[in-house]
Amino acid sequence: MTTPIKAPSNQTPAKNSPSILSQTLSEWKTLAILGVPIMVAQLAQMANGVVDTMMAGHASARDLAAVGIGTGIWGPVLLFFIGVLSALQPLISGHRGADSHARIMPVTWQGLYIAIVGSVMMAAILTHVRPIFVALGLDAETTDIAQGYLDALAWGIPAVLLLNSLRGLTDGMGHTRIIMAFSLVSTVINIPFNYLFIFGFSIGDWQVPAMGGVGCGWATAVSNWIAVIALLVYLNRSKDYKDFHLIGDWVKPDWAEIKHILQLGLPIGLAMFVEVSMFCAIALFLSPLGPTVIAGHQIVLNAISLFFMIPLSLGMALTLRVSYLLGAGEHFKARLLARSAIFLGLGIAAINAPIFFFGRKFIAGLYTSDNQVQAIAIQLFALGAIFQIADVTQVTMINVLRGYKDTKIPMFIMLFSFWCVCLPLGFVLTFKDWLSAPMGAAGFWTALIIGLSCAAFLLTYRVFRFRPQ
């Protein structure tokens, strides 16, 4: 962790420098240029899961359930490893800002080594989760489909993690459109392969049987490999990367550099895992309330997750820009951007919140025609609108701190807010009469507002008090 120190006196703007307002607006414009491609890439990656779920549903209800259960397993694990690798972006962006280009490829290669080891670990996890399904009481057929889906996905794990490690290079160089393009390629390819593997196909005497939900895993694996191979070809031939050649600039493992990446990345990965696992835990806690409540909760969570891509993309752009400015020695600009980012976050919340509040009936109707499920979703959307303020603020501030390369304390803040505030308070408000009459699913969403408000306050306080070296 970087030790907070008093900012040096020479970091104040010169008399003839542009006004603070003009500097702020200029930085916001740069964020938009970086952030929009990131948002498209995130939506494209999210679309893969949506496509898998939708097409599995056309095979059978059992296939749909199995793919959903499998996604619930592999999603949090994948986000953990992606979080670890995301440390590459601020490191490389900082080297670019400092004009230390000779350090970029060594860092990239250490990220690739971490990705390789992570692939082995993740594949081992995904291929050995059958005991979990048995413990959950799943029937044998659903268990077979879910495990088969994860077994197939495991073959594509190296491609996913290699893609995300190379994203550290491209995003760190400020070229966020590259991953956007190849994420779109992966999504487009995934659709026809899903159809072929789910329902089967034949070419002459060669036949591929219908695999149902298992086919979704194979389609995702194939599309990921095509995307990463295409990215490698692009990087090898692109003029922008002629000075950053993977083969020509190969370096052996550097344990000190790997340790440095892990020191930054593990807290990020754990913070992501903590957040996702909390929502999985909430779904489990709500299961006694019946399928209607669960369905209403999932509708709201799905819609909010989609809109969350906007502040998440802003946050990822902030990480890149803040780390770049620090690397360039522009400490005043970095602090100016970090502190002004809260207004950007609140601006996004001011747009999202009314959409969920005033459009809650319309949005619920898009997901289901069941009146009971709609009623639950409408109630929760009202809370989800309030939830936006805290959620957008916390994701904005934590990504600023990642740009500062400050990851350990934010991880503990998220752990405290999610697992020490949200879950216990949510359980009490949902099922007990200790503080009020049992609130049902609304209890957990009320707790989310309180817990994330706590996280938003603590993270914002740290941003305004933190002084990077």
Which pLDDT tens digit goes with each residue over 333-384?
A: 999 999 999 999 999 999 999 999 999 999 888 877 888 888 988 999 999 9
Higher pLDDT, 16 or 279: 279
Is a pLDDT exceeding 50 seen at residue 6? no
Element (DSSP H or E) covering residue 92: helix 88-97
- What is d(CA 124, CA 112) in angstroms, rounded to the nearest whole number? 18
Q: What's the DSSP call for residue 438?
A: -
Work out the pLDDT band at 13, boundaries 50, 70, 90: low
Higher pLDDT, 10 or 158: 158
- What is d(CA 195, CA 216) in angstroms, rounded to the nearest whole number? 8
Task: Please report the pLDDT score of residue 456 as a whole number.
Answer: 95
Which amino acid would we find at residue 415?
Answer: L
Task: Give me the mean pLDDT over the 299-305 stretch.
Answer: 85
Task: Please report the pLDDT score of residue 469 as a whole number.
Answer: 63
pTM as predicted: 0.87
- What is d(CA 397, CA 392) in angstroms, rounded to the nearest whole number? 9
Classify burial at 258, counting beta carbons within 10 Å of its beta carbon; exposed 0-12, middle 13-18, buried 19 or more.
middle
Task: Please report the pLDDT score of residue 371 as a whole number.
Answer: 87
Q: What is the pLDDT of residues 212-246, one digit of tens each?
A: 889 989 999 999 999 999 999 999 888 888 888 88
Q: What is the mean pLDDT of the chain?
A: 87
* Closest to 288 in 3D by CA, of 443, 69, 452: 443
- What is d(CA 266, CA 128) in angstroms, rounded to the nearest whole number? 23
- What is d(CA 401, CA 206) in angstroms, rounded to the nearest whole number? 54
- What is d(CA 396, CA 304) in angstroms, rounded to the nearest whole number? 16
Task: Please report the pLDDT score of residue 440 as a whole number.
Answer: 85
Higher pLDDT, 203 or 409: 409
CA torsion sign, 264 to 267 to 273 to 276? Answer: negative
Task: Give me the mean pLDDT over the 436-449 stretch.
Answer: 88
Task: Give me the mean pLDDT over the 459-469 stretch.
Answer: 86
Task: Please report the pLDDT score of residue 15 as a whole number.
Answer: 54
Q: What is the pLDDT of residues 378-406, one digit of tens each?
A: 999 999 999 999 999 999 999 999 999 99
Higher pLDDT, 219 or 5: 219
Q: What's the DSSP call for residue 404?
A: T
* Closest to 104 in 3D by CA, of 240, 224, 272, 237: 240
Q: What are phi and psi of 138, to 5 degrees?
A: -70, 145
- Beta pairing class for 201-203 and 206-208: antiparallel
DSSP per-residue string spanning 3-18: PP-PPPGGGSPPTTSP
Q: What's the DSSP call for residue 417?
A: I
Classify burial at 419, counting beta carbons within 10 Å of its beta carbon; exposed 0-12, middle 13-18, buried 19 or more.
middle
Task: Give me the mean pLDDT over the 174-182 stretch.
Answer: 92
Q: What percent of the residues of the chain are helix, what percent strand, and what percent coil, each to the nearest 5?
A: 80, 0, 15
Q: Please list the residues that pair with 201 across neighbouring strands.
A: 208
- What is d(CA 64, CA 53) in angstroms, rounded to the nearest whole number? 6
